């Protein structure tokens, strides 16, 4: 029963959020004079042919991979009680420098791929370390410093793209870095469709999906099965209590932000190494902020974040088909925003219900139980009284 209650409390907030978002979106579609059933049909229309259906699956999975990594990066800091709002800047800096470094070297295929990944993680960790150092040495709020560093990162990335790392010709409409050589590109996973008997899609399924899965498993094990994870969660619950028990709270802030930034550095690599092979002015933006929503909806659990990333990717895929059905693509944004708002409210309600239940159970345990009359070997209090009376007679 305890396990069922725990699962129910974990699913309560996301379920309420999705239902609430569906109701609000239905009202919005009705307000603009369109039929909500049309929107539902478009959302679940994956195409008529097998190739179209597998292509829709590829689009969803490819979109979900960076969202999952963004949610992981945010969730690591959330578990510590830190708000790493700077994931956006961390992954933009990591991607542009990894693209430039990857295009500048020549290595064998496996080493080249590893080199690009390591560079991205190091840059992301360095950019997050600035936030951590400011917090532990000067007491600067990580929210303020990470937001400011986002602007610095965007400006720096723009300067690098138009200056030292520019690969496109002068006068080009789209400015990009040099393309990664083939040895630095991550191979796709389209061979899996042949193994399971599905039609080949037009696009390529990102091979970086494997790296994302490994990262999710590693983060889950790190947070739930290691001493470091226990110290991290304990410090997040109460830094003073953690310090009193011998945990270096300041050191945990630095380590947590380094891990969060390193994971953030991976966010742009699925597109960089699996699709565009360069960083440019049209590179995907906003993934860091979407990661906050994904982490909230997934309740900071890697498994929950995976489902939340798939949901957001599923909604993003429908943006263009909705426009063909005369429904504004902004409906997708409304759904996602409403989900975030609803999940915050539902999480607070669930937290209060859990607290009240715990207080009630504590009160019942603390109340003294009525004393029972003493019993002896004869089995009942009455038998002892009868024995005493008989002895007196």
Q: What percent of the chain has pLDDT over 70?
A: 89
Is pLDDT of 372 > 70? no
pLDDT given at position 359 = 78
Tens of pLDDT along 164-176?
Answer: 999 988 888 899 9
**What integer best gives the mean pLDDT of the chain?**
87
pLDDT given at position 32 = 83
Is pLDDT of 233 > 60? yes
Is pLDDT of 99 > 90? yes
The H or E element containing residue 175 is none
Residue 286 belongs to some domain of the structure: yes
Closest by CA position to 125, among listed 251, 255, 305: 255
Q: How confident is the model at residue 21 (pLDDT cuts 50, 70, 90)?
A: confident
Closest by CA position to 254, among listed 76, 66, 75, 68: 76
Domain count of the chain? 1
Tens of pLDDT along 306-364?
Answer: 999 999 999 999 888 888 888 888 888 888 888 888 888 877 787 787 778 777 776 66
Looking at per-residue pLDDT, the higher value among 379 and 276 belongs to: 276
Residue 346 belongs to some domain of the structure: no
Residue range 93-102: mean pLDDT, rounded: 97
Residue 332 belongs to some domain of the structure: no
Residue range 383-388: mean pLDDT, rounded: 43
Residue 45 belongs to some domain of the structure: no
Residue 170 belongs to some domain of the structure: yes
Tens of pLDDT along 178-191?
Answer: 999 999 999 999 99
What HEC string does 179-246 produce?
Answer: CCCHHHCCCCCCHHHHHCCCCCCCCCCCCHHHHHHHHHHHHHHHHHHCHHHHHHHHHHHCHHHHHHCC
Residue 237 belongs to some domain of the structure: yes
Range of lowest pLDDT (23-37, 77-91, 128-142, 351-365): 351-365
- Beta-carbon contacts of 151 under 8 Å, excluding residues fewer than 6 positions away, are 89
Is pLDDT of 389 > 60? no
- Alpha-carbon Rg of the chain, whole angstroms? 27
pLDDT given at position 3 = 62
Is pLDDT of 140 > 90? yes
Is pLDDT of 301 > 60? yes
Rounded to whole angstroms, the Cα distance separating 359 from 320 reads 49
Q: What angle do CA 18, 264, 113 make, to 5 degrees?
A: 120
Residue 159 belongs to some domain of the structure: yes
> Any idea what the CATH number is for the domain that residue 251 is in?
1.10.3470
pLDDT given at position 7 = 67
Is pLDDT of 251 > 70? yes
Residue 339 belongs to some domain of the structure: no
- Model confidence pTM above 0.75: yes
Residue range 116-136: mean pLDDT, rounded: 97
Secondary structure of residue 358 in the 3-state scheme: helix
Residue 151 sits in which domain range? 59-314
Is pLDDT of 300 > 50? yes
The DSSP code for 280 is B
Range from 23-37, 243-257, 330-344 that averages highest in pLDDT: 243-257
Rounded to whole angstroms, the Cα distance separating 50 from 199 reads 6
Residue range 370-389: mean pLDDT, rounded: 46
Is pLDDT of 383 > 50? no
């Amino acid at each position: 029963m305890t396990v069922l209650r725990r699962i129910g409390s974990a699913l309560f907030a996301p379920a309420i959020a999705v239902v609430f978002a569906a109701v609000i979106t239905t009202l919005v579609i009705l307000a603009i004079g369109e039929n909500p059933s049309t929107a539902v049909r478009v959302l679940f229309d994956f195409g008529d042919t097998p190739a179209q259906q597998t292509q829709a699956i590829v689009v969803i999975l490819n979109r979900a991979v960076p969202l999952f990594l963004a949610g992981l990066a945010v969730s690591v800091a959330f578990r510590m009680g830190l708000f790493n709002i700077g994931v956006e800047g961390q992954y933009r800096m990591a991607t542009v420098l990894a693209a430039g470094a990857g295009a500048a070297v020549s290595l064998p295929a496996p080493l080249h791929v590893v080199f690009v990944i390591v560079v991205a993680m190091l840059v992301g960790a360095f950019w997050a370390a600035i936030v951590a150092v400011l917090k532990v040495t000067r007491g600067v709020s990580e929210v303020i410093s990470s937001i400011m560093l986002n602007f610095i990162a965007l400006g720096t990335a723009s300067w690098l793209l138009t200056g030292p790392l520019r690969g496109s010709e002068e006068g080009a409409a789209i400015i990009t870095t040099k393309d990664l050589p083939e040895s630095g590109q991550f191979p796709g996973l389209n061979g899996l469709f042949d193994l399971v008997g599905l039609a080949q899609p037009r696009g390529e399924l990102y091979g970086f999906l494997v790296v994302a899965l490994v990262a999710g498993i590693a983060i889950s094990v790190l947070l739930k099965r290691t001493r470091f994870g226990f110290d991290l969660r304990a410090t997040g619950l109460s830094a003073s209590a953690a310090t009193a028990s011998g945990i270096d709270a300041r050191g945990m802030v630095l380590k947590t932000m380094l891990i969060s930034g390193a994971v953030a550095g991976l966010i742009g690599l699925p597109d960089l190494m699996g699709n565009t092979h360069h960083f440019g002015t049209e590179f995907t933006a906003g993934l860091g902020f979407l990661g906050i929503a994904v982490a909230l909806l997934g309740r900071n659990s890697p498994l929950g974040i995976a489902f939340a990333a798939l949901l957001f990717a599923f909604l993003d895929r429908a943006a263009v088909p909705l426009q063909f059905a005369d429904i504004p693509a902004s409906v997708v944004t409304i759904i996602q925003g409403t989900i975030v708002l609803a999940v915050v409210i539902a999480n607070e309600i669930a937290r209060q219900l859990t607290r009240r239940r715990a207080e009630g159970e504590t009160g019942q345990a603390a109340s003294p139980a009525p004393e029972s009359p003493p019993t002896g070997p004869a089995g009942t209090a009455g038998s002892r009284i009868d024995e005493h009376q008989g002895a007196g007679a």
